Amino acid sequence: MKRMQAVLYFPWLEFRRIVLGVKHSAEVDITDNCNLHCKHCYHFYGRDKLNKQDQPLDVWEKRFRQLYEDGVRFILLVGGEPALRIDILMLAHKIFPFIFVITNGTIKIPSEFKHRLFVSIDGSRKINDSIRGQGVYDRVLKNFTGDDRVVINMVLAEQNYTELEHVVRLARDSGFTGVVCNIYTPRNDGYNPWELGSEARQAIIRELIRVKQLFPEDLLVSETMIKWYSIADHRGPCYWGDEALHYDVSWNKRRCFAPNADCANCGCLAGATQSPLTMIHQLREIRSILYEV
């Protein structure tokens, strides 16, 4: 039902955005805290304005209700680790019709929260835990096996891209909706824990094509998106960066998840979905990625 509502609702919101300038989508850090320290995460590096003091729920209610009043209906909650603030997730559940959460999966999110969960897994147990921490792989599966809210969110780099097929099979065996992929995006200020040259990127593209052919219903990355990934440099206009609202935990505006992301080497899933007009060519994957049946 929610998927059908979104398919019918989104064109009206897009029309209102184009004609009236009312933006309908937002991405928000709800905490700067996290219970993991993943090797490829740059949330905590090179930033001197992290706010480790979480804001009380009444502050978030004012912020969320203002966003809703301003026209926002689709909201992506990130961090830090957003599941550290279940209270904020449940508050958003009361306000917004369409919510997406990117989580490391180590904290179980109540079943009453009936929205899409992008749960991070970056390979088999050995590879994933070498990146995210000992025991993380098993904790994620314990928390969410059989939960069709879950789409696995995998970050691809030279160190783990050959694990993609394993992760897609894992999603099928675990009752998840499927798998989406980001290609590791370095920062433009010199911090780059995973070097990713052009040869490695092309190897990743070839692997995406191969696994997509094997599992066309489970790897929720369309041919259009793979072509977008094959062109690293996306420093021009960006629907995700330009047409969605973006806030850090202190309610400062920004252009993307990470203000220092290197757009010349972008591998962002949100960027790969592109504008609503190009989404038409990848409708099946987009619907499965974003909305529950």
Structure tokens at 64: 């969320």
Give the helix, strand, coil percentages of the chain, each rounded to 5: 45, 15, 40
Looking at residue 12, its pLDDT comes to: 85
Residues, the chain: 293
Q: How far apart are the first and last CA of the chain?
A: 6
Other Cβ atoms closer than 10 A to 193 = 14
Give the chain's radius of gyration (CA, Å): 18
For the chain, give every domain's residue range. 2-290
pLDDT beneath 50, residues of the chain: 1, 4, 293
Looking at residue 1, its pLDDT comes to: 46
Strand pairing category for 116-120 and 150-156? parallel
139 Cβ contact list (under 8 Å, min separation 6): 105, 106
Q: Tell me how far apart the alpha carbons of residues 227 and 239 are, in angstroms, rounded to a whole number.
A: 17
| CA nearest to 188, candidates 90, 42, 75 | 42
Backbone angles phi, psi at 81, to 5 degrees: -110, 105
Looking at residue 106, its pLDDT comes to: 98
**Residue labelled with tokens 């991405």:** 27
Specify the pTM: 0.92
**Residue labelled with tokens 């000992």:** 134
Looking at residue 280, its pLDDT comes to: 56
The topology under which CATH files domain 2-290 is: TIM Barrel (3.20.20)
pLDDT digits 0-9 by tens, 82-107: 999 999 999 999 999 999 999 999 99
